[in-house]
């Protein structure tokens, strides 16, 4: 006997370990998601449901056919047979273009189990919907700009030009599901350590970190810039007594880099904490990354499996979520320079550590590792230093640090200078005018706690988690030197 779905009957998908349950309520277009059909099919048998999705494939001619549809939660087979639907509906279904959007009214049934060899385990049951009403919401044009369910390799530019279609591919969808989870896990960890989320302005009057890598703009009649960092505003909240703050937001850098790891607009985790030094915030950072990796390992193996399925189809090695051991290794700048010199590379104290140098360090430390105690001359004006804490050449060291994963820089951070007279001296040393930063420095004239913080690029974090070879793979609509659309 058929049971009709009522608004009071709402199914819930099975929650991943340690995550809050996801509850999908009925909408004007569907009573259930496709994920709910598979997760709760045994409870829904003989229930009439209304479902929607993209049409992936159709098989069969004549009096029966099978259609596979997909939504953001899963897939489901639709069974059409004459007598349940009319001939016109059957013809429409059998000739529909892939990726058309459809709506189906029908009854949940258990699919016939596949034949298995003797002694082989029987797979768990799966479910289908026997259609009684079929509606094409929109029909897709042909040909598609790129394939969705095939495994043919597609160039990155083609993918980005047609990102709306690229996102329908399972491994791409899994990438951005993981990105959402990484943001969630990072946010929840910082909150558990007492950090409050803030939002800083992205239109600013002067450089956050010095230098000229800024995008200029006109703010009505006033020259302004897009923010290259929330740094100064994070510090102002600390001066205001907020104690511990974090932001997840965009930053803009007018840099001419055009590499696999650089973008001109990016999203980062940024934190600032009072009564903390560089060692304290390095510990916050490694604990947060540990929590993210552990949470992905506990909750999101399904997304990793989807990515690995595609990687294997492209003759690439699958990736694993190896939760990093705490604490992360720390290789001070002076030791890193010596390590690079010992490898026969031409580098002197005070030089930047380039990617080719990082390869040498990564050979010994392939995972996450900190590079603390950089020369003060190489760090922004707001980084703290301790007089007498000098490097191998007797020059002043800073309390600034980087975090690398293998050869790639992930984070820049450090303890901040909290004495106004030192800040103003640092600004002059960088060729900047202190009066241009009075909105910032004035806050330090009325009592300032020692504080520290960092910024961590989300896209590069996703690269290290998923094995993506280009940062553009981990950003929905990347902005680089060549790309400003879509």
Q: Quick one: three-class SS letters along the chain? A: CCEECCCCCCCECCCCCCCCCCECCCCCCCCCCHHHHHHCHHHHCCEEEEEEEEEEEEECCCCEEEEEEEECCEEEEEEEEECCECHHHHHHHHCCCCCCEEEEEEEEEECCCCCCCCCCCCCCCCEEEEEEEEEEEECCCCCCCCCCCCCCCCCHHHHHHCHHHHCCCHHHHHHHHHHHHHHHHHHHHHHHCCCEECCCCCEECCCCCCCCCCCEEEECCEEEEECCCCHHHHHHHHHCCCCEEEEEEEEECCCCCCCCCCCCEEEEEEEEEECCCHHHHHHHHHHHHHHHHHHHHHHCHHHHHHHHHHHHHCCCCCCCCCCCCCCCCECCHHHHHHHHHHCCCCCCCCCCCCHHHHHHHHHHCCCEEEEECCEHHHCCCCECCCCCCECCCCCEECCEEEEEECCEEEEEEEEECCCHHHHHHHHHHCCCCHHHHHHHHHHHHHCCCCEEEEEEEHHHHHHHHHCCCCHHHHCCCCCCCCCCCC
Say if pTM beats, i.e. exceeds, 0.85. yes
Give the pLDDT of residue 284: 98
Asked if residue 262 is part of any domain, the answer here is yes
| Cα–Cα distance for residue pair 296/187, rounded to 1 Å | 14
Same domain, residue pair 73 and 192: no
Same domain, residue pair 259 and 323: yes
Asked if residue 259 is part of any domain, the answer here is yes
Asked if residue 480 is part of any domain, the answer here is no
Same domain, residue pair 111 and 177: no
Last residue of a domain, one of 93, 118, 143: 143
Give the pLDDT of residue 211: 57
Same domain, residue pair 110 and 181: no
Asked if residue 467 is part of any domain, the answer here is yes
Asked if residue 179 is part of any domain, the answer here is yes
Give the pLDDT of residue 148: 96
**CATH code, domain with 349:** 3.30.930.10
Contact predicate 351/338, CB 8 Å: no
Give the pLDDT of residue 54: 98
Same domain, residue pair 121 and 165: no
Q: First-to-last CA distance in the chain?
A: 51
**CATH code, domain with 38:** 2.40.50.140
Same domain, residue pair 403 and 351: yes
Same domain, residue pair 199 and 242: yes
Total number of domains constituting the chain: 2
Contact predicate 182/292, CB 8 Å: yes
Residue 271: HSE in the Cβ half-sphere, 13 Å Cα cutoff: 31
Asked if residue 153 is part of any domain, the answer here is no
Same domain, residue pair 57 and 120: yes
Give the pLDDT of residue 201: 96
Dmax over CA atoms of the chain, in Å, equals 89
User: Residues near 481 by Cβ (< 8 Å), separated by ≥ 6?
Assistant: 256, 257, 258, 264
Is the preceding omega at residue 292 within 30 degrees of 0, hence cis? no
In terms of residue numbers, what domain contains 11? 3-143
Same domain, residue pair 126 and 220: no
Per-10-residue mean pLDDT of the chain, 486 residues long, equals 38 43 94 97 97 97 94 97 94 97 98 87 93 98 95 92 97 98 98 98 78 87 95 93 98 92 96 98 98 98 96 95 98 97 95 94 97 95 94 94 96 97 93 88 95 98 97 97 94
Same domain, residue pair 89 and 164: no
Last residue of a domain, one of 143, 174, 200: 143
Asked if residue 486 is part of any domain, the answer here is no
Contact predicate 201/208, CB 8 Å: no
Give the pLDDT of residue 462: 98
Residue with tokens 């608004």: 7
Asked if residue 152 is part of any domain, the answer here is no
Give the pLDDT of residue 426: 92
Give the pLDDT of residue 8: 34
Record the tokens describing residue 107, joined without a space.
């009854």
| Cα–Cα distance for residue pair 343/363, rounded to 1 Å | 11
Same domain, residue pair 250 and 120: no
Last residue of a domain, one of 143, 168, 202: 143
Same domain, residue pair 289 and 416: yes
């Amino acid at each position: 006997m058929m049971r009709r779905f009522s608004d009071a009957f709402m199914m819930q998908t099975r929650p991943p370990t340690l995550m809050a349950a996801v509850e999908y309520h009925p909408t004007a277009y569907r009573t259930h998601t496709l994920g709910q059909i598979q997760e709760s099919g045994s409870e829904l048998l003989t229930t009439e449901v209304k479902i929607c999705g993209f049409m992936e494939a159709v098989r069969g001619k004549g009096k029966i056919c099978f259609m596979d549809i997909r939504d953001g939660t899963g897939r489901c087979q639709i069974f059409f047979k004459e007598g349940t639907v009319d001939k016109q509906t059957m013809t429409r279904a059998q000739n529909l273009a892939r990726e058309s959007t459809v709506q189906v009214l029908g009854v949940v049934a258990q699919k016939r189990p596949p034949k298995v060899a003797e002694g082989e385990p029987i797979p768990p049951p799966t479910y289908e919907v026997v259609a009684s009403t079929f509606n094409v919401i929109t029909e897709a044009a042909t040909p598609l700009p790129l394939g969705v369910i095939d495994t043919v390799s597609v160039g990155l530019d083609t993918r980005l030009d047609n990102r709306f279609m690229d996102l329908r591919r399972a491994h791409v969808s899994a990438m951005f599901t993981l990105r959402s989870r990484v943001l969630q896990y990072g946010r929840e960890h910082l909150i558990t350590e007492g950090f409050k989320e803030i939002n800083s302005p992205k239109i600013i009057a002067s450089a956050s970190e010095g230098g000229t890598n800024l995008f200029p703009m006109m703010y009505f009649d006033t020259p302004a810039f897009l923010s290259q960092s929330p740094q100064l505003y994070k510090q102002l909240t600390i001066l205001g007594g907020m104690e511990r703050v974090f932001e997840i937001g965009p930053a803009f850098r007018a840099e001419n880099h055009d590499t696999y790891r650089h973008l001109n607009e990016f999203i980062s985790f940024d934190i600032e904490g009072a009564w903390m030094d560089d060692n304290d915030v390095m510990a916050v950072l490694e604990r947060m990354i540990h929590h993210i990796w552990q949470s992905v390992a506990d909750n999101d193996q399904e997304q990793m499996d989807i990515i690995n399925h595609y990687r294997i189809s492209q003759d690439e090695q699958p990736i694993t979520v190896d939760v990093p051991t705490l604490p992360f290794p720390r290789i001070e700048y002076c030791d890193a320079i010596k390590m690079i010199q010992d490898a026969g590379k031409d580098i002197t104290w005070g030089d930047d550590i380039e990617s080719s140098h990082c390869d040498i360090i990564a050979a010994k430390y392939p995972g996450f590792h900190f590079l603390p105690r950089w020369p003060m001359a190489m760090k922004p004006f707001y980084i703290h230093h301790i007089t007498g804490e000098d490097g191998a050449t007797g020059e002043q060291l800073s309390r600034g640090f980087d975090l690398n994963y293998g050869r790639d820089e992930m984070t820049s951070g450090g303890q901040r200078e909290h004495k106004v007279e030192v800040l103003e001296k640092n600004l002059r040393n960088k060729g900047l005018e202190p009066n241009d930063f009075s909105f910032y420095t004035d806050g330090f004239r009325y009592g300032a706690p020692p504080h520290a913080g960092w910024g961590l690029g989300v896209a590069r974090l996703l690269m290290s988690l998923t094995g993506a070879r280009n940062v553009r793979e981990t950003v929905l609509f990347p902005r680089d030197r060549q790309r400003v659309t879509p």
